[in-house]
Amino acid sequence: MANHRADEKRFLDERGSSGPLAPNGLNPATIMEKPVRERIIDSYFWKDQCFGVNEADIINRVVEHVHFIGGTYGDAQRPSPFLCLAFKLLQLGPSDEILEEYLGYGGEKFKYLRALACFYVRLTRQAKDVYRLLEGYLGDYRKLRRKGRMGTSLTYVDAFVDDLLVKERVCGTTLWKMPKREVLEDLDVLEPRVSPLGDIEDLLESEPEEVERENERGSDSERSRRGSPGSEFGEVTPDRDEMDIDREKTANGD
Amino acid sequence: MTTRKGAYETTASDTDFRKKYDLAKYAADAKEKEEKEREEKKARYEAKLAGKKYYAPLTGDEVLTQARASRLDVSSNVGKVVLMPAGAATGKRGRGAGFYCPDCDLTFKDNLQWVEHENSMQHLRAIGQTGEVKRATREEVHERIQRLWERMEEERRGDVKTLGERLEVRREEDEKERELRREKRRELAEKRKKVKEEEVKVKKEYGEDVRIEGEHDEDDMMASMGITGFGSSKK
């Protein structure tokens, strides 16, 4: 089919009876929960900005309107633009190559576009594709703003992707239960993941001092999952190397 | 001499100023209109029986719907006074106080109703749209990302805050301007040089045989007096 419907009526009416299913076998119209869905299609943002939008226009909307991720926010539990556009993506059902554009080329430039595409991939793609596509972005440390019912907090793209892979509920949506990575590895569907930190067995076997050093080296290429203390508040703890250099300098100066 | 002509040699009769009625044409038009109305009525009735809403059938020159380019700008009307006719509609029908849709001749009182109307099939059909949106290809998506990024970069360049950045931008602009001026000057010099060369060439091409009487007298006289020209020493 060459065209989309401009509104969501047919998408919701078909409800999986005749409409196409997502690649993971779920019905895109019911992936989000009913209360959230209804809030979305009642919201002004949806009616105003998500009408008649196709795969290219949605990028405009993301760039202009998405300044935080989150499900519903505030006392009125208004659906965020992020969630509205995710629902629009569910309706549009973009192909894999368009998703690649969103994640790769567009994702390099617009971090919220990558976050949105990651979210969509997690909702609709098969487990092996989800792992394959999302794990690459565990090395993306750009900041994201998250808004929930409790207020605003800081997160990162890699933390968000990790949430998508690990958690059950993200952005007001219950994620479908995905088989664990180990299971897929046992079934030879996936290759074991190589962490940028190196092999975990090596790390455990080696001497504690070595591990320290390994960690230091690793912190240059990848911040550990927890991040340095205070990183959730946007503080950056200087690396020990830099501090050493400083100390040397002052020593020389004296 | 059988043709009857008046004093002014026209064939007009006394009552020619009256409007002419093409009765056959009117009858045909009326029949067509009635038929159309009857068909529409039937379609409406059938749609009602089927439990559907009736829309005028597509004519075939509808265009695809496109995403809204601009949001409803309410703030531009702040402080404006609009005169309403005394008989302005109190309901939706006709022109009244509120957001007026000229295509459907309806007035809406708030932005939510307005945007719902704009999205409705009734409105889309009235403005000749199908309510379908073109599917974008990968290339279009790529190109859109690129365009948005370029636009953002442009804005970022225009929006600088610190003095250092401003100086940097100014320096870049100055450099560009200077380069432009230099280019212009070079071009001008080139042109002048070319013209001069042309002149010299023309002068050299003159043979004795093409000398026109009197034209080169001045040159000859100056040459004989030892003056080669005014102003410039190089020839």
Indicate the domain borders of chain B.
20-54, 138-201
CB atoms within 10 A of CB A63: 20
Residue with tokens 């935080």: A68
Among A6, A102, A106, the residue with its CB nearest the CB of B131 is A6
| ipTM over 0.85 threshold | no
B67 Cβ partners below 8 Å, 6+ apart? A51, A52, A53, A54, A57, A60, B133
What digits encode the pLDDT tens for the residues B103-116? 888 888 888 888 89
Name the amino acid, one letter, at B173: E
Q: pLDDT for A196-207, tens place per residue?
A: 777 777 777 776
Residues 6+ apart with CB under 8 A from B157: B169
How far is residue B145 CA from its own chain's centroid? 26
Cα angle vertex B39, ends B37, B43, to 5°? 115
Specify the higher pLDDT residue, A9 or A241.
A9
The 10s digit of each residue's pLDDT in B36-86 is 999 989 988 998 888 887 777 777 777 888 888 877 777 888 888 888 777
The DSSP line for B113-176 is: HHHHHHHSHHHHHHTTB-SEEEPP-HHHHHHHHHHHHHHHHHHHHH---SHHHHHHHHHHHHHH
Mutate to test the interface with A, among B70, B138, B150 (most CBs of A within 10 A): B138
A5 vs B contacts (CB less than 8 Å): 131-133
What does the alpha-carbon distance between residue A136 and residue A104 come to, in Å, rounded to a whole number? Answer: 10
Exposed, middle or buried: residue B167 (CB in 10 Å: 0-12, 13-18, 19+)? exposed
Single pTM value for the model: 0.65
- Whether residue A2 has pLDDT greater than 80: no
Chain A residues touching residue B147 (CB < 8 angstroms): none
**Exposure of A8 by Cβ count < 10 A (0-12 exposed, 13-18 middle, 19+ buried)?**
buried
Instruction: Give the nearest partner residue to B67 out of A3, A53, A95, using CB atoms.
Output: A53
List the one residue out of A175, A177, A141 whose CA is nearest residue A156. A141
